[in-house]
Structure 1
């Protein structure tokens, strides 16, 4: 008669992929709790930032008696631009500080610096998408059309924006940890992105001889493509294209991953 298996039998080792997903899940829950409860009413401030910006700009355009922007409904146009931009900004700025904020967790060999960056980017993306969807539903309640003319194009535009932000975040997370002063310099240099990405005005209004410089910014491509996917009559800048958007995303992610691998031990040790 076969004996029953011992209660103390060693379970089969988990695969590397299952360990990685378990780490991401734990980090995601930790980051979500920290992000939403950092201060009293922190979640309210997260929602209010894009909402107040959108309301202020809508009020401004209402005073100017502007109902359309480059052939698009100005309310939906602003919500797409502002929420899209703030989501991108939060992804790369929060990713930049991910390694430094989670130093204590690197005592566990399963947790790598790159995990903290990816999880923060995923959390900011999820929150940004929820806020964007909520604002669009509010506009729909007031009779605005929020259905994109090209849903597939809108999805790929949003994904392209996030991938570009992730690539930038991976690079900056290494640079800011190795050279702490770099974080201040990056924040200073990135301030003009709010305007250069076309969040509050159409880039087609820029003279042609200067517009090509604005479109060196990949986020300008993403926001312009996102807006054009919603409005068939939108006068989008012809410079905006998916090829540049995804080429920048691929190159920046590759460089970011290379830096993460190259300096992994230094990021853990500092």
Structure 2
């Protein structure tokens, strides 16, 4: 009787599949109606800020209706932030599984990031469908309303860049946090300001003077969000200096650095 030896790819795939199912069950059914809160958070933030901006008679930004402007930016921001935080805590939440030699810290990171990407797809579809159902289009024009994203490919590529940026940042910061536990408090403090300095909920073009907008665009998240909005409405007047290439340069650079750190400290990450 011959015993079939599984290939490294088959072992890795089995590990990823098992961890994915566990993570999915935890995210969706860990608490009562946990799946609902994944949707409630973005809807609440979007509705609150759209109402606030419309109260101050801000109905459009750069030629794009304010509601869809917030939705396009917040979907991208939420994908980046949730991916980052899930990967950031991936090592701590899967310590017990590292007792199996087949399971590596990177497995937890890639599984959590992939789950977040797959969760954000239906969430984004529901949010956009709700906005369209309430009559919110890309522009304020009644004669020629535009309802759907005009450049879906640019939207997808920009969102993928933000996802890779979140994955790369999560890899780097998770290694740092494994050695300096207190840095997690710093991350919790900056979560809320990130909503605003990244231009997800408030228009940077309105409260950042024009000469300094190029400095704001040095934040790769800003570039990603502005490119998502350009995908929704190509005539949108984006901030100066934003670039899809800049976003991907940051994303791939952080991914490379994160993989190097995981390789260098693989044993220490498991033992800590």
Q: TM-score normalized by structure 1? A: 0.91
Q: Are the structure 2 counterparts of residues 264 and 146 from structure 1 closer, same or farther at C-alpha, using a change threshold of 3 Å?
A: farther
Alignment coverage as a number of residue pairs: 262
> What CA distance in whole angstroms lies between the structure 1 residues aligned with 2:44 and 2:190?
24
Contact in 1 for aligned 2:79/2:162 (Cα 8 Å): no
Q: Distance in 1 between matches of 2:193 and 2:216?
A: 11
Report the Cα offset of residue 160 of structure 1.
0.6
Trace 1:132-143 onto structure 2 (pairs within 5 A): 132-143=124-135
Number of the residue aligned with 1:40: 32
**How far, CA to CA, are the matches of 2:214 and 2:55 in structure 1?**
31
Indicate the RMSD between aligned Cα atoms, in angstroms: 1.6
Tell me how far 1:62 sits from its aligned partner: 3.2
Give the C-alpha shift of residue 148 in structure 1.
1.8
**Aligned-residue offset at 1:190:** 4.7
- Structure 1: stretches of 5+ with no match in the other structure: 1-5
Matched, 1:57 2:59: no
Query: Is 1:103 matched up with 2:122?
Result: no
Which residue pairs with 1:21 in the alignment? 13
TM-score normalized with structure 2 length: 0.91
For 2:71, which of 79, 88, 93 is the aligned residue?
Answer: 79
1:129 counterpart SS class: helix
* SS in structure 2 at match of 1:192: helix
Do the aligned partners of residues 61 and 192 (structure 1) sit closer, same or farther apart at CA in structure 2, a change above 3 Å counting? Answer: closer
Is the 1:84–1:128 Cα contact (8 Å) retained in structure 2? Answer: no
Runs of 4+ in 1 over 6 A off after TM superposition: none
Do 1:98 and 1:120's aligned partners in 2 also have CA atoms closer than 8 Å?
yes
Match of 1:172 in 2: 173
Question: What 5-or-longer segments of structure 2 have no aligned partner?
Answer: 138-145
Deviations 1:112-137 (A, max 9, x none): 00110111111112212221111111
The Cα shift of 1:216 comes to 1.9
Partner of 2:3: 10
Give the corresponding residue for 2:140: none
Report whether the alignment pairs 1:217 with 2:219: yes
SS of equivalent to 1:240: coil
Q: Deviations over 1:149-182 (max 9, x none)?
A: 2222111111111111110000111111122112
- Mapped to 1, the partners of 2:177 and 2:84 lie a distance apart of 12
Cα offsets for 1:181-236 (capped at 9, x unmatched) = 12112333454221111111223332133223222211100000000111132111
